[in-house]
Structure 1
């Protein structure tokens, strides 16, 4: 009985974590460049159940041993193994703001290990740490440095912060920045061959545990373009996310009812059967 108790409990925990992930996706549906997470559910290893038959098998020394017979497998529950982002391109929206720049994938090589395309990111820096983002909702700080909405410095191709004279600058399709007709710098666009290996943090930021990502212009087969006064929206599908949240809630509720049934059975076993 207790085995089923724990199996239902693992189902509730897994669905709770999935609901939290979907809630985060929904809350970031209007965050520029946000990439929705998807969950991977896995089952714990099954237990093989056997029983001893009453029929005894005589041995050479005259001893009788009980015979084992296979009953079947018992599932021990599920868990949410990980939440991985989907790097599908989000929709583009015109804003009219000079500091809004959309990064658009044109052609990306396919990773031979997982069979999926790589992607490109803006290179930023915060407290001396290099990080990457798809959120092109930039602004200028008090020193006229180009920064993200979270205060991260946007880096150029040489890995240096970009300082401008005003917000009336222009950005070409290949990332070159011109201020008052003068070339200032080129946006630092990094290429991730396997973006699923990046560590996702808050504010739509990603970190690499394998060193700094290469410059996209130096990688053969990588094609991208930039569009000023345009933002890439999140790739969250609100209607689909709401449907998945309802499914997760119903699964949680079903496991909860099973747990309550086990609880009532245990209560009866202790309070009523114990009296006999």
Structure 2
């Protein structure tokens, strides 16, 4: 197999991964609190044996080394990261819709354990508890937040919850010591590696606050993602054409070698 086929194969696979991430970002362009996935590339250098040889000297070697000492750089996917930049706020008028400005996450209790989320589209269930779209309880500083049957719900910037003027608890907003360690669990929730509990820390109240009656829009730039999709699609097609052309050249060369003269 020629080197061009190997390079084109890895290039096509890299762009396929990139296309999948872009498609997922676009599919969540209306999901509150969604954070976009990003990929980065790096150059991988291929070395020949002659790359480690000293430069030719006239008294020892008159001809150039074959293959000549040269570093061949090939782009490869380096890592997949989460874009944790702040999304815009959208007013909804719903007192149970909450948006965090600044670093921080809501804590949510699920059957698999506690997870973090930026999606503040909450509801009151039949038991009067504050829950997510999936029915998972939103955690306060002393357990799940219970609203009861009161009518007027007020939530302050620091998370204090009042129902009909009576304080019933406080929503727990936490920060993460190392956001790069967060992994997507699904349903706009985050966890540590292998769904482990991430290391959390207290928020900086000067930077982080809760906004009642708002949701945080996803930080997905639809136009930018569409442009990136077109670019990745064309790159994939170019790599596929290289593979096809190389195969045709190999087949043509094989047929000519086998011809009788």
Shorter-chain TM-score tier: 0.7 to 0.9
Tell me the residue number matched to 2:28: 28
For 1:157, which of 125, 138, 141 is the aligned residue? 141
Tell me the residue number matched to 2:212: 228
Shift of 1:197: 1.3
Q: Does 1:214 align with 2:214?
A: no
Shift of 1:89: 0.9
CA distance in 1, matches of 2:132, 2:207: 23
Q: Does 1:86 align with 2:61?
A: no
Q: Does 1:8 align with 2:5?
A: no
CA contact (8 A) 2:174 2:200 kept: yes
**Cα distance change, pair 212–68 in 1 and its aligned pair in 2 (3 A):** closer
CA contact (8 A) 1:121 1:190 kept: yes
Q: Deviations over 1:104-138 (max 9, x none)?
A: 11xxxxxxxxxxxxx21111111151110100011
CA distance in 2, matches of 1:274, 1:148: 69
Shift of 1:68: 4.5
Tell me the residue number matched to 1:125: 109
What pairs up with 1:1-276 in 2 under 5 angstroms?
2-48=2-48, 50=50, 68-69=65-66, 71-73=68-70, 75=72, 77-105=74-102, 119-158=103-142, 160-166=143-149, 168-209=152-193, 211-217=197-203, 223-276=207-260
Alignment: residue pair count: 249
* Greater strand proportion: 1
Tell me the residue number matched to 1:56: none
Q: Structure 1 regions of 5+ residues with no counterpart?
A: 52-58, 60-65, 106-118
Q: Secondary structure at the match of 1:150?
A: coil
Shift of 1:263: 0.8
CA contact (8 A) 2:191 2:197 kept: no
TM-score calculated relative to the size of structure 1: 0.82
Q: Secondary structure at the match of 1:153?
A: coil
Q: Deviations over 1:180-223 (max 9, x none)?
A: 21111111101113211111221111113575543534x6x753
